[in-house]
Amino acid sequence: MRETHEISPADDHIAPAPRGLAEAGADATRAASLAAIAQPRFAIPLLIALGAVLYLANLGGYPMYTKGEPREAVTVFDIVHGGGIILPMRAGVEIPSKPLLMHWMAAIASLVLGGVTEMSVRLPSAILAIAGMLVCYGYVRRLFNDGTGLLSAAILGTTFQYLQAGTGARVDMTLTFFLEVAFFEFLAIAEGITIRRLALFFSIALAILAKGPVGIVLPFLVAIIWMTLQGRWSLIRAIPWKRGAAIVALLGGGWYIAAAWVGGMDFIRKQILSENIVRFTGGPSFHEGHVHPFYYLEFALLGGFLPWTPFLALPVIRGFGSAIKRDARVMYLIVWMAVVLIFYSMAESKRGVYLLSMYPALAALIGIAIAPDASEAAGSDGRFARVMGPIAGVVMLLTGVTALVGIAVTEIAPLWMRDFFAFWGISARGFVPSLSSAIGERWALAALCPVLLEILGYAALRKHLSVERLVGAIGGAVALTVVAANFIVVPAIANTLSLRNFALEMVNTVGSDSVGYLGALDYDVAFYSAKTIPIVHLNDPDLPDYLICWQAVYKRMSDEEKAGFAVALTSNPTALDGSGAMVLLRRATHPPSPTSGSLKVRYDKRGYDARERRSEVTALSNRGRISAEPPPKLTSQIGVISDS
Q: How far is 411 from 580, CA to CA, in rounded Å?
A: 28
Per-residue model confidence (pLDDT) at position 551: 93
| Nearest CA among 202, 183, 200 for reference residue 337 | 183
Q: Is the dihedral of CA 569, 572, 578, 582 positive or negative?
A: negative
| DSSP state for residue 598 in the 8-state scheme | -
Q: How far is 417 from 423, CA to CA, in rounded Å?
A: 10
Predicted TM-score (pTM) of this structure: 0.86
Chain centre distance of CA 455: 29
Per-residue model confidence (pLDDT) at position 288: 58
Under a CB-based contact definition with an 8 Å cutoff, are residues 377 and 466 in contact? no
Mean model confidence pLDDT for the chain: 83
Q: How far is 476 from 303, CA to CA, in rounded Å?
A: 19
Q: How far is 334 from 348, CA to CA, in rounded Å?
A: 24
Under a CB-based contact definition with an 8 Å cutoff, are residues 562 and 547 in contact? no
pLDDT in tens, 112-171: 999 999 999 999 999 999 999 999 999 999 999 999 999 999 999 999 999 999 999 999
Please give the single-letter amino acid code of residue 562.
K
Flag whether pLDDT at 350 surpasses 70.
Answer: yes
Range from 87-91, 288-292, 301-305 carrying the lowest mean pLDDT:
288-292
Under a CB-based contact definition with an 8 Å cutoff, are residues 7 and 193 in contact? yes
pLDDT in tens, 559-569: 999 999 999 99
Beta bridge partners of 220: none
Q: How far is 184 from 178, CA to CA, in rounded Å?
A: 10
More confident residue, 624 or 510: 510
Per-residue model confidence (pLDDT) at position 375: 43
Per-residue model confidence (pLDDT) at position 591: 80
The length of the chain in residues reads: 644
Q: How far is 231 from 245, CA to CA, in rounded Å?
A: 24
Flag whether pLDDT at 631 surpasses 70.
Answer: no
Flag whether pLDDT at 290 surpasses 90.
Answer: no
Number of Cα atoms under 13 Å in the Cβ half of residue 102: 37
Q: How far is 128 from 59, CA to CA, in rounded Å?
A: 14
Per-residue model confidence (pLDDT) at position 250: 95
| Nearest CA among 558, 561, 446, 428 for reference residue 498 | 428
Q: What phi and psi, each to the nearest 5 degrees, are found at residue 154?
A: -65, -40
Cα 543 to Cα 502, 537, 551, 571: the distances in Å are 21, 8, 18, 22
Please give the single-letter amino acid code of residue 393.
G
Beta bridge partners of 517: 535, 548
Range from 74-88, 137-151, 354-368, 381-395 carrying the lowest mean pLDDT:
381-395
More confident residue, 447 or 266: 447
Rg (CA), the chain: 27
More confident residue, 244 or 636: 244
Q: State the pLDDT confidence band at 558, using cuts at 50, 70 and 90.
A: very high
Per-residue model confidence (pLDDT) at position 292: 66
| Nearest CA among 126, 6, 141 for reference residue 60 | 126
Q: How far is 606 from 250, CA to CA, in rounded Å?
A: 50
Which residues are within 8 A (CB) of 604 and not within 5 positions of it... i.e. 6 or more apart? 620, 621, 624
> Three-state SS for 546?
strand
Per-residue model confidence (pLDDT) at position 370: 84
Q: State the pLDDT confidence band at 12, using cuts at 50, 70 and 90.
A: very low
Number of Cα atoms under 13 Å in the Cβ half of residue 99: 25
Dmax (CA) of the chain: 91
pLDDT in tens, 444-488: 999 999 999 999 999 888 877 788 888 999 999 999 999 999 999
More confident residue, 610 or 242: 242
Q: How far is 124 from 111, CA to CA, in rounded Å?
A: 13
Which of 19-23, 32-36, 635-639 ranks highest by mean pLDDT?
A: 32-36
Strand order in the sheet with 625-627: 606-609, 600-603, 625-627
Under a CB-based contact definition with an 8 Å cutoff, are residues 234 and 281 in contact? no
Under a CB-based contact definition with an 8 Å cutoff, are residues 630 and 593 in contact? no
The alpha helices in 167-232, defined as continuous H runs, are 172-190, 199-211, 214-230
Per-residue model confidence (pLDDT) at position 509: 92
Q: How far is 244 from 495, CA to CA, in rounded Å?
A: 47
